[in-house]
Amino acid sequence: MAKEQDAPSSPAGVPERACELGELLGTIAALREHCPWTGALTHESLVEYLVEEAYEVAETIEAGSAGAALGEADFDAELQGELGDVLLQVVLHARLAEERGTFNFDDVARGLNAKMVRRNPHVFRPDGSLQDSFPATVEEIVQKWDAVKRAERPERQDPFAGIPLALPALAKAQKSIDRAARAGVELPAQAPIPETEEELGELLLAVVRSAHASGFDAERALRGAVRNYQQHVPQHQPPG
């Protein structure tokens, strides 16, 4: 295995990544102070941009996967830019919190790092150092991740707790079924499905067309079905 190279450093010996991130944080701080538009932003007013930017990242990735008319270099440039827009949202929210004296970007990064170490005991020891070996299967990884999450929030007995209410109905349905399967609770009835994702997409589109022809709102109908399922499914925690 090739020896891992050290990250490029600035003349002062600070890793280049840290310098670039620090520069970004400084730029946003200056904009908050001197730009009336940026200075007027709030957590609430930023929500629409956060959602929009996340969808734009997803659209870029899916367009690239679908073989859209983007060369590899163009795709990478587009993805890089969209990821930067998402990072901007994180930096802005952290800056707003820092101005209130509650937390800052470093706290966000530190908390995220601690969570990733804590929730991946198949890779890390509690002190963050690497394990001697990594024998875990994907199934074992999921089980350990879920076990750590339950230990973090033992008061959460509902397997659907934490699923955002504002998720689009189809995403909410998929997330609910995934949670139910991992928690070992009853799953909704399963219908025959096509053999490919493309055929599945055509089937879903046909269902929406039928709903429209009958005067139904497909989004509202699915949202109601998910809500009814979550409220009536028997719930229990899986064995340790």
Question: What is the C-alpha end-to-end distance of the chain, expressed in Å?
Answer: 38
- The reply to whether 24 and 102 lie within a common domain is yes
Tokens of 213: 């022809």
Average pLDDT over residues 139-160: 82
> Is 79 domain-assigned?
yes
Mark out the alpha helices in the chain (DSSP H runs): 16-34, 36-39, 43-65, 72-100, 105-118, 138-152, 169-183, 197-213, 218-232
pLDDT per residue as tens digits for the range 150-202: 888 877 778 888 888 888 888 889 889 888 888 888 888 888 888 999 999 99
- The reply to whether 54 and 126 lie within a common domain is no
Domain of residue 219 covers: 160-185+200-240
- The reply to whether 32 and 80 lie within a common domain is yes
> Residue 55: which CATH number?
1.10.287.1080
> Is 37 domain-assigned?
yes
- The reply to whether 35 and 96 lie within a common domain is yes
Using the 8-state DSSP alphabet, how is residue 126 labeled? T
> Is 191 domain-assigned?
no
* pTM over cut 0.95: no
> Is 127 domain-assigned?
yes
pLDDT per residue as tens digits for the range 8-38: 445 455 567 778 999 999 999 999 999 999 9
| C-alpha 220 chain-centroid distance | 24
